[in-house]
A = this chain, B = another copy of it.
Amino acid sequence: MKLTTDKKILIVGLGLLGGSYARALVKKGYYVTAITRSRSSIDYALSENIIVKGASFVDPALVGEADLVVLALYPHVLIDWIRENQHLFKPGTVITDVTGVKGMIVDKIQTMLRTDVEFIAAHPMAGREVYGVQNSSDAIFKGANYVVTPSEKNTEDAIELCRDLGETLGFARVSSLSPKKHDQIIGFVSQLTHCIAMTLMTCQKEENLQDYTGDSFRDLTRIARMNDEMWSELFLLNKDALLHQMTLFEGELNRLRCLLETDDVEGLRDMMRYSTERRALFDKKAN
């Protein structure tokens, strides 16, 4: 099933990511509506013409007319929202999300969901350290990755629709992973990196360190500005995978420590060359 422009799209939770979805979809000619708690976010989105209708409460009319619902909510809010409002979906509605962990969520939602609608999870790997629809921009999808995480309960139709959404939004690469594999990888590329950034930021009480700082330290700690509510939740939802990745990292750091302690110049240079070679794979692709 392709995402054609006759589909009505409802975004629930109009923050940075929800707002960026709205902007990208409206540009492509879609009918986009939104539900979010803050009235001023709705007013802003209406004034920017990135939604055609909106409500700061769960408006049954908006939910009932939607063919595709994007839930851009925190994990625990997401599950409650579906539990409380799933009776409002029209039959055949496809529901997707933007959550950064999948294992716990996909299973919980698919187990409790009505059987005449379908939940297909996705993780748009884009974001910034600022919040709110006022800071939203579809430019954040450029060069970024979008991962669909189907379970064995999903249909080919819904998977295709969800992949198509990722392409329509302008992501550089759309791929699929099982929820479990997704969480392992995210435990590494996203969660472990945030753990490292916050650890770097807090392990030293040295005063005036900022006067002696180069770009390396700034780069490694850009993401040390964290939404503590969201990240503590994401970490704990993916605790086992994250702890495993931490162990792998600590083991390799210890290998590096041994190379240093034994003055093993060739070992150090080998590791640096391997690092350099491998890093080349990760350059952002142009769209």
Which residues 193-218 of A sit at the B interface, judged by CB distance below 8 A?
A: 193-204, 206, 209-218
Contact with B along A175-189 (1 / 0, CB 8 A): 101000010011011
- A265 at the B interface (CB under 8 A): yes
Task: Return the chain B residue nearest A233 by Cβ.
Answer: B265
Residues of B within 8 A of A282 (CB): 209-210, 213, 217-218, 221
Do B147 and A212 have beta carbons less than 8 Å apart? yes
- A55 at the B interface (CB under 8 A): no
Do B193 and A278 have beta carbons less than 8 Å apart? no
Contact with B along A1-45 (1 / 0, CB 8 A): 000000000000000000000000000000000000000000000
Pick from B125, B243, B280: contact of A213, CB under 8 Å: B125
Determine which residue in A173, A193, A206, A236 has the highest number of CB atoms from chain B within 10 A of its CB, and name it.
A193
Task: Return the chain B residue nearest A211 by Cβ.
Answer: B175
Task: Return the chain B residue nearest A218 by Cβ.
Answer: B282
- A52 at the B interface (CB under 8 A): no
A284 to nearest B CB, angstroms? 7
- A130 at the B interface (CB under 8 A): no
- A228 at the B interface (CB under 8 A): yes
Residues of B within 8 A of A211 (CB): 145, 173, 175
Given contacts A175-B212, A189-B209, A202-B278, contact A265 B236 (CB under 8 A): yes
- A257 at the B interface (CB under 8 A): yes
Residues of B within 8 A of A198 (CB): 256, 271-272, 275
A164, B171: Cα distance in complex, Å: 48
Task: Return the chain B residue nearest A248 by Cβ.
Answer: B203
A23 to nearest B CB, angstroms? 19
Given contacts A195-B253, A225-B279, A236-B265, contact A202 B125 (CB under 8 A): no
A223, B201: Cα distance in complex, Å: 18
Do B218 and A220 have beta carbons less than 8 Å apart? no
Pick from B189, B242, B275: contact of A216, CB under 8 Å: B189
- A219 at the B interface (CB under 8 A): yes
Do A232 and B265 have beta carbons less than 8 Å apart? yes
Task: Return the chain B residue nearest A229 by Cβ.
Answer: B269
A137 to nearest B CB, angstroms? 14
Question: Can you offer 13 A-B residue contacts whose CB atoms are under 8 A?
Answer: A185-B212, A186-B212, A188-B206, A190-B216, A196-B253, A197-B220, A198-B272, A201-B278, A210-B282, A216-B223, A232-B269, A236-B263, A243-B261
